[in-house]
Structure 1
Amino acid sequence: MKLDVEGKPVNTVPTPAQITRALKSLRSYSKSSYASLTDDSGNYVQVAGGGVSCMIERFECGAQRWRAFHNKPSPVRPDGTILVFRAGNIPMRSDEWFMADQVVEVFLAFLSGTPYPPFVHWRLAPGF
């Protein structure tokens, strides 16, 4: 596994504690607004944003890219709200906004090869 955090050296043997610390330090307005965790086959999970404004995606080699969503749409972020971070602007649906603690759970499930948390669901990412 390798943990890649924008603006930081790649960590080729990340521990759960290092992943947690890195994800909780992300901010959409800082020099670290993106992170990914990639396995040896090239499958990955990635996050953009930080804090209470995170977007999660996963990719499986030879398959598809999916965007995470949940069953509690944001009442303050309607469909079409833009996630702005250093790598660009992404239009989001109201049920695609996650908090950093939830992102940590998804990344640690990917790291350990266990099922994703029950609060996360997946749909094809836009453009796929």
Structure 2
Amino acid sequence: MRLDIEGKAAITAPTHAQTARALKSLRSYGKSSYASLTDDAGNYVQVAGGGVSCMIERFEFGGERWRGFHDKPSPVRPDGTILAFRAGNIPMRSDEWFMADQVVEVFLAFLGGAPYPPFVHWRLAPGL
């Protein structure tokens, strides 16, 4: 596994603690606004944003890219609200906003080869 964090050196074979710490330090407006965790086969999970404004995606090598969503749409972020971070602007649906602690759970499941947490569901990522 390899953990890549914007603006920082990659971590090969990251621990759970390193992964959690890196993800909790992400900020949409900061020097590190996205991260990815990639396995040896080229599959990965990635996050953009930080804090209470995160977007999660996963990619299956040779397959599709999927966007995470959940069952509790945001009442303050309607469909079309923009997630602005250093790599660009992404229009989001109201059910695609995650908090950093949830992102950590998704990344740690991927890191450990476990099923994703039950709160996250997946749909094909837009633009594909």
TM over 0.5: yes
Residue 16 of structure 1 corresponds to 16
Partner of 2:51: 51
Partner of 2:91: 91
SS at match of 1:63: coil
Aligned partner of residue 109 in structure 1, secondary structure: helix
Q: TM-score, normalised by structure 1?
A: 0.99
Alpha-carbon separation, structure 1, partners of 2:41 and 2:12 = 14
Structure 2: gaps (5+ residues): none
How far does the alpha carbon of each residue in 1:18-71 deviate from its partner, in whole angstroms, 9 at most, with x for none?
A: 000000000000000000000001000000000000000000011100000000
Partner of 2:108: 108
Gaps of 5+ in 1: none
Shift of 1:127: 1.1
Aligned residues: 128
Distance 2:50 2:124 in 1: 22
SS at match of 1:110: helix
User: What is the aligned partner in structure 2 of residue 77 from structure 1?
Assistant: 77
CA deviation after TM superposition for structure 1 residue 121, in Å: 0.1
Partner AA of 1:92 in structure 2: M
For the residue of structure 2 that corresponds to 1:55, the secondary structure is strand
TM-score, normalization by structure 2: 0.99
In the alignment, which residue of structure 2 is the partner of 1:30? 30
**How far apart are the structure 1 equivalents of 2:13 and 2:111?**
10
Q: Deviations over 1:61-118 (max 9, x none)?
A: 1110000000000000000000000000000000000000000000000000100000
